[in-house]
Structure 1
Amino acid sequence: MDIDVELSAPATQKDLPADLVWRLLRHPGARRSAALLRRDLTAGQIEEIIALGSVRTLAANASVPSPVRARFAKHPEPSVRCAVAASVRDEPPGLLAELAEDPDPSVRSFLAMNDHLPPDLLARLATDPESSVRSSLIPRWRDVPVSVRRMLLTDTDPGIRRRSARAFTPPADLLPGLLADPATRAAAVAHTVPTAELAADPDSDVREAVASHPELPAVLRTLLADDPDIYVRNAVAARADTPYALRQRIVATLEPDNPIAEWVLSYRRGNHTCPPAAPAPADLTRQQAEDLLTRAGL
């Protein structure tokens, strides 16, 4: 095994003696693993990691003390501020609001993924001038007020409208507009009654959404079973109410041109197989760890 790969295991081993952790920090790969995943880094080790240039990785470690992560929020490199913005808490108070005003939109985008944001900051980010920030917020905000939901569903950016339509149940009065909008039509199908017109839509994403609709009439199911698009036919095959014979006939027509497509199709039908997870490496004894460090010249 490559020595660099071998060093990644003790770098995150919980009971590794502190003196061996210090030696591991001299190796770039092991240092990054320790910086990201160790929960027991001492103040001295943290400063050593910073001095050795792995501050961006360290900033993503939620176990680093709050005062240190607050320092990272003021780091001159946006990538460091991004790493801390995604998970930092409001310690000291006002830190999250400060990050919400960061001049770099990538920092605000990472902040929008933070699970510790209060409603007022979520609302502020929902009106951010950068679409990437608004987009990052959509899948993370569960209890979106109706006023904000309406605003995002009618956003000027089609990508924001599309993502919002997939994430939120739309107010009834917005549904006709969402069905008429090419960006949101497929997502809006789930909130309306499937019709023959929708089942014949030129957009295959719309037809696939119809094929997945829980109230799909049997006549439309039979029609979509012969759809020219492989993903539409697969959606019909994945339905619990599709007769066995029809399902078998459809599956016989599903011939994707690459292994990834085959996996996606079989996943949708619930009969995919995942490779077994690799076993976790065994913890090293002190002697084994010292021997490894010696071989690595550490």
Structure 2
Amino acid sequence: MSGLARNPALPAALLLRLLTLVGRDHLALHHALRRPDLPEQAVAFILAHPNPAVRVEFATSTGADPGRRARLVDDPSPRVRAALAYGPERHVPRTTVPPLADAVYARLLRDPEPSVRAAVLDSPHLTTAFAASLAAHPDAAARLRAVDAWESLAPGERSALAADPDPGVRRAAALWRCRSDARVTAGLLGDPEAAAEALRRGLLRRADAERCVAERTHLTALAANPSLPADLVERLAVDPDEEVRTAVSVRPELDEARRMSVAFTVRDFDRREVEWVHDGLADPDVLRRAATSAHPLLRRTAALSPHLPSDLLDVLARTGDPLVEDHLSVHHPDAPEEVLMRVFARLGGTFSAWMAETHPRFPREGLAARYADHPDGNHRRLAVRDPAATPELIERLSHDPAVWTRQAAAADPRLPLPRLREVLHVPELASSAGANPALPEDEMAAVVDRADAPA
């Protein structure tokens, strides 16, 4: 059923019948409710579905228009309204999830159920403008979320949050204020919940910095502080703790020679992001400094940027660093073909399938000749992507020893119809065959009939 739910050729009438069954099959539910082409009749059916799980799935759909999802704002189930308030769980790389309208979030924030209000404030999809609008909200949790929009707040709003009656709000505001006020930083150093963050970002008095070095207080955080005096930076650059030395090695003011003279430690699969580089992923100067550095953490962070110009993209593609290549393959729409193929060969599995299907630069032409007889089944399935692959080759690959290759062939519309009808009844291929747009409508209807869906 999950394959049929993905089939782009599924007629609307069969989709409606399929939706009567989605409560029985979670995977089919997931795919059916994330179709971007749901007709209005199907949306109305979903919104009125008696199973809250169906409405929750639609509330968090990445494919549904936010205006359609917003029609659940008055759903009788708090679980559904909370799902709507939070939104889709994660972003798919190279795609964006449009948020609900601010007016919808405002309405959800007035919901009588605490779980719904909490979901709004936890949502990763709120606009900065909406978060900033919460600065004077009567709920302390909402004011705390407003602190996240600190740089968009008016001076009076900042002052009010700094003097907020709630200690959590005051602490969060102080962690912003300390960046430009050493007295605020000093006041936070006695707070166990704020000290490390204050030492990482706050403006420091020399005496406080010296004391922290002498007492070895949160040295890794201190080593990243932009206001740390230069002589103390030099002391931490030779600290016996490798984490402290590594934190010094990524400081933005170091030139390349000084950076590489620090005895830092970066392991092969160290995915730590360098904050000043991450903050500058759209800044050409930051990207150039990071991408051309010999420091692996700077290069790995720069590789997260979809904005790399072609020359820096080429520089990073030649580093030979698997993590750099992984990041480029996920985040950059122009990642070179050779990088994509190396990542595909190295990682395999679901990730490689996702990348091959979604990356705009993943190759198609010539794959049949290169990979149809490859010893690795993960590569043989690439032959199915080739527009020049013949129906005979597709049929041969539908009998391949590797199940992923057989599944790729079963979903291909060039598969001869007799074989397509056959694989529809093979358990490990049935879902792929159900997603095949060449599947005749009578076969689609038969699948739905076998599931006892009402007409």
> TM tier, shorter chain?
0.5 to 0.7
* Counterpart residue identity of residue 286, structure 1: P
**Cα distance between partner residues in 2 of 1:271 and 1:145:** 37
**Cα pair 2:147 2:172 within 8 Å, conserved:** yes
**Cα distance between partner residues in 2 of 1:203 and 1:79:** 47
**Cα pair 1:224 1:236 within 8 Å, conserved:** yes
**Cα distance between partner residues in 2 of 1:23 and 1:213:** 60
SS at match of 2:222: helix
Equivalence map 1:150-161=2 (5 Å): 150-155=159-164, 159-161=168-170
Q: Which residue of 2 aligns with 1:210?
A: 222
Q: Which residue of 1 aligns with 2:158?
A: 149
Q: CA separation of 1:248/1:18 partners in 2, compared to 1, >3 Å: closer, same or farther?
A: farther
Match for 2:263 among 250, 268, 288? 250
**Cα pair 2:56 2:80 within 8 Å, conserved:** yes
Equivalence map 1:264-279=2 (5 Å): 264=272, 269-272=297-300, 273=323, 275=326, 276-277=329-330, 278-279=355-356
Correspondence 1:29 to 2:32? no
SS at match of 2:271: helix
SS at match of 1:250: coil
* Counterpart residue identity of residue 82, structure 2: C
**Cα distance between partner residues in 2 of 1:195 and 1:80:** 53
Q: Which residue of 2 aligns with 1:286?
A: 437
Q: CA separation of 1:57/1:165 partners in 2, compared to 1, >3 Å: closer, same or farther?
A: farther
**Cα pair 1:78 1:106 within 8 Å, conserved:** yes
> Greater Rg, structure 1 or structure 2?
2
The count of corresponding residues between Structure 1 and Structure 2 is 275
Alpha-carbon displacement from aligned partner over 1:239-287 (angstroms, at most 9, x marks no partner): 24166466455225x679xx6xx32278983243253442226786521
Q: Which residue of 2 aligns with 1:238?
A: 250
**Cα pair 2:186 2:204 within 8 Å, conserved:** no
SS at match of 2:263: helix
Q: Which residue of 2 aligns with 1:115?
A: 127
CA RMSD of aligned residues (A): 4.3
**Cα distance between partner residues in 1 of 2:168 and 2:12:** 49
| Gap regions ≥5 residues in structure 1 | none
* Counterpart residue identity of residue 246, structure 2: N
**Cα distance between partner residues in 2 of 1:142 and 1:216:** 23
* Counterpart residue identity of residue 55, structure 2: V
How far 1:46 sits from its partner (Å)? 1.8
Q: Which residue of 1 aligns with 2:84?
A: 84
How far 1:52 sits from its partner (Å)? 5.9
Match for 1:195 among 206, 231, 252? 206
Please, which moves more after superposition, 157-166 or 220-229? 157-166
How far 1:225 sits from its partner (Å)? 1.9
Q: CA separation of 1:186/1:119 partners in 2, compared to 1, >3 Å: closer, same or farther?
A: closer
* Counterpart residue identity of residue 298, structure 2: G
Q: CA separation of 1:218/1:107 partners in 2, compared to 1, >3 Å: closer, same or farther?
A: same
**Cα pair 1:150 1:170 within 8 Å, conserved:** no
Equivalence map 1:13-24=2 (5 Å): 17-19=11-13, 21-22=15-16, 24=18
**Cα pair 1:234 1:250 within 8 Å, conserved:** yes
Q: Which residue of 2 aligns with 1:180?
A: 187
How far 1:45 sits from its partner (Å)? 1.0
**Cα pair 1:81 1:107 within 8 Å, conserved:** yes
Match for 2:40 among 29, 43, 50? 43
* Counterpart residue identity of residue 158, structure 2: R
How far 1:134 sits from its partner (Å)? 3.9
SS at match of 1:197: helix
How far 1:108 sits from its partner (Å)? 1.9
Q: Which residue of 2 aligns with 1:63?
A: 65
How far 1:29 sits from its partner (Å)? 1.7
How far 1:188 sits from its partner (Å)? 4.1
Match for 1:100 among 84, 109, 117? 109
**Cα distance between partner residues in 2 of 1:239 and 1:171:** 17
How far 1:178 sits from its partner (Å)? 4.0
How far 1:211 sits from its partner (Å)? 2.0
| Gap regions ≥5 residues in structure 2 | 87-98, 278-296, 301-322, 331-354, 359-384, 386-411, 413-434
**Cα pair 2:171 2:194 within 8 Å, conserved:** yes
**Cα distance between partner residues in 1 of 2:445 and 2:239:** 60
Q: CA separation of 1:266/1:148 partners in 2, compared to 1, >3 Å: closer, same or farther?
A: closer
**Cα distance between partner residues in 1 of 2:132 and 2:260:** 49
TM-score, length-normalised on structure 1? 0.68
* Counterpart residue identity of residue 272, structure 2: V
* Counterpart residue identity of residue 29, structure 2: R
